[in-house]
Structure 1
Amino acid sequence: MSVWTFDYYPHARFIAPAQGAAQLWRFCFGLVLAAGLFLALTQVLFGTLFQVMEPGAVDAIMENGQTGQTATGMFVLLFQLGLLGVSAALVVIMVHKRRPLTLIGEPRLALRQFIVVATAMLILMAAIWVLPPYDMGGPLERNMAVGRWLLLLPVAVVAVLIQSGAEEVFFRGYIQQQLAVRFRSPFIWMIVPATLFGMAHYLPDSAGSNAWTIVAWATLFGILMADLTARSGTLGPAIAVHFVNNLSAMVITSVPDEMSGLALFVLPFGLADEAQMAAWLPVDFGIMFVSWLVARLAIRA
């Protein structure tokens, strides 16, 4: 198996359901509608909270949801991002007249590939933890008691799966499918969704001088997930890689200043520590590349 072989024949099966209503105006309208639906559903979410909770408590939850520094804030943030998947599902029903499950590919194959790749990714992450070096530039700091973490863990796993799955459904499902049925070049249907995904990670206020490096990381991640989707013919492998990556970064070990509310440990430095973050970002690029190779090996693609 050559790393650089572009064997994308399963991709034709993945995008086939999008061929029936593939006009560009539908796609552009679908993107606008998806954004509107996401905002509307977010308002419904917080409006419901206002109905069942004290206004002051909801204000605190909304504030915490912007940084994810508390468990409640993280749950709100993750489930809110899950609304991206709901929005994409509604768009394909209303605009493209097809079933939402077509966004992930053949369901049984997608589930089988997800399980295989997720298992391989968990083994990889365990190996990274066991093998040297044994720290991240300093000792990890305990973020919460183990008992409380274990209590929150089942819901946290579900929340991360919803968030990562929703992002893959929107970017590698809806956008990639609709572009691929109109443009044969992978430079369009891979790069455009990945660039949008990368820009969604632009955090200049938090990351400072590393903001564009993080955008580059997320963009490359999007390209590799698009490649996995094209090779496998489903979103199963991409969701698995995204899920395990976020599980490690949000539930096991997080940075202390962003999205740390569900993490057992936090790193000895945060996004604001620009020099240390810059030193470790190349490691993240390396782990991402190895994760892509492991996923490809797991599905033999």
Structure 2
Amino acid sequence: MYIEQVRNSTNSFWLYIIGVFILGVVIIIGNIPFGFLILAEAGVDAAQLTLAEQMKVLPSNTTLFLLLLPFALVFGAILLITKLLHKLKLRELITSRSKVDWKRVRFGFGTVALSFIAMLVVGYFIDPESVQWNFKPKLFALLVLISVIMVPLQTSAEELFFRGYLMQGLGRIFPMRLLPFVITSTLFGLLHFTNPEVDKLGDIILITYLSTGFFLGAITLIDEGLELALGFHAGNNLFLSLFLTSDWTVFQTDSLFINMSEPNVAAYIIGPLIMYSVLFLVYAKKYKWKNYATHLVGSSKV
């Protein structure tokens, strides 16, 4: 069982507290280069800038790299903490299977990528002026290089921490899976509450962030592994980085297309909910999921 993978490790809960503290220090250190360069460019006014404004100070590719850098460092730190502090294999942090199922990772990646491409095509035909072609060969080539390397590190770091390390650690102190599921999903949503989208759409967008956290948490627990979530999250963020961005989202890149339309709050809440529901059913059918309640709220004792 995935959440119980810690049973064979040095897994007293206080070690998880130490691990979380170390990761917090790492992410602070990782943010120093971005803060330093923003301060160097904007001077004393940097402290008055919102995150959305800070993201326009440096070239977009530089900004993207610096924003993803802390997560790359966290990814490496998680690997070391897992091996040295908890005596766990990386596989045990990812899956309950005998080895990582890369077909599941690819399927999670492919389904979200196809979903976004379909929505982009439909949106273009409904309102062609809402999408603007933005291909800049040299900048896009550099964007591809940065995104292909750094985005999977960023998304994997988030998945390994929230639905791997933290969820398994909480499984040590809570007898049922429900609380680790709810706590990690909620924290994941709250983490994204500092995104620039909140300034544009308002606090109500938290619904989307929370639904994303609960969707990824649910497919992880029911499927007894992180593979689908790893693929989904990487596909989601790579699409937003490479194919479609806007001037008010967390990824402001030299992507192939720019979304020129004014954001519709209802669409940004209802759209993801529909997509998550459809993909959940697709995954459930393909992998023959059963006993949802047991997987989500059942015993997590080790």
TM range (shorter): 0.7 to 0.9
Q: 1:101 and 1:38 mapped to 2: Cα distance?
A: 23
* Structure 1 residue aligned with 2:83: 93
Structure 1 residue aligned with 2:185: 194
Tell me: CA distance 1:150–1:108, structure 2 relative to 1, closer, same or farther (3 Å). farther
Q: Secondary structure at the match of 1:263?
A: coil
Show the counterpart of 1:5: none
Q: For 1:141 and 1:132, locate their aligned partners in 2 and report how far apart those are by CA, in whole Å.
A: 12
Describe the superposition over 1:159-188 as per-residue Cα deviations: whole angstroms up to 9, x where unpaired: 221111111011111011111243242321
Confirm whether residue 251 of structure 1 aligns to residue 242 of structure 2.
yes
**Cα separation, partners in 2 of 1:80 and 1:33, compared to 1, 3 Å:** closer
- 2:86 match: secondary structure: coil
**Of 57, 64, 70, the match for 1:74:** 64
Q: Which moved more, 1:141-150 or 1:111-120?
A: 141-150
Whichever residue aligns with residue 34 of structure 1, its letter is L
Matching of residues 1-301 of structure 1 within 5 Å: 12-13=1-2, 15-18=4-7, 20-43=9-32, 46=33, 59-60=40-41, 67=55, 70-105=60-95, 106=97, 108-131=99-122, 134-135=125-126, 138-146=129-137, 148-150=139-141, 152-203=143-194, 207-208=198-199, 210-258=201-249, 259-269=251-261, 276-281=263-268, 282-301=270-289
Runs of 4+ in 1 over 4 A off after TM superposition: 55-58, 63-66, 135-138
Seen in structure 2, the aligned counterparts of structure 1 residues 56 and 212 have a Cα distance that, compared at 3 Å, is closer
TM-score (norm 2): 0.76
Q: Deviations over 1:41-88 (max 9, x none)?
A: 555xx3xx99xxxx8799459x89952771121122123222222232
One-letter identity of the residue aligned with 1:117: G
Equivalent AA in structure 2 for residue 257 of structure 1: W
Whichever residue aligns with residue 85 of structure 1, its letter is F
Consecutive unaligned residues of structure 1, counting only runs of 5 or more, are 1-11
Counterpart Cα distance in 1 of 2:237 and 2:271: 16
CA distance in 1, matches of 2:235, 2:147: 12
Which residue of the partner structure matches residue 9 of structure 1? none
Identity of aligned residues (%): 19
Residue 241 of structure 1, CA deviation: 0.9
Aligned residue pairs: how many? 277
Question: For the aligned residues, what is the CA RMSD?
Answer: 3.4
Q: Is the 8 A contact 1:116 1:299 kept in 2?
A: no
TM-score where L is the length of structure 1: 0.77
1:141 aligns to what SS in structure 2? Answer: strand
The answer (yes or no) to whether the contact 2:5–2:93 under 8 Å persists in 1 is no
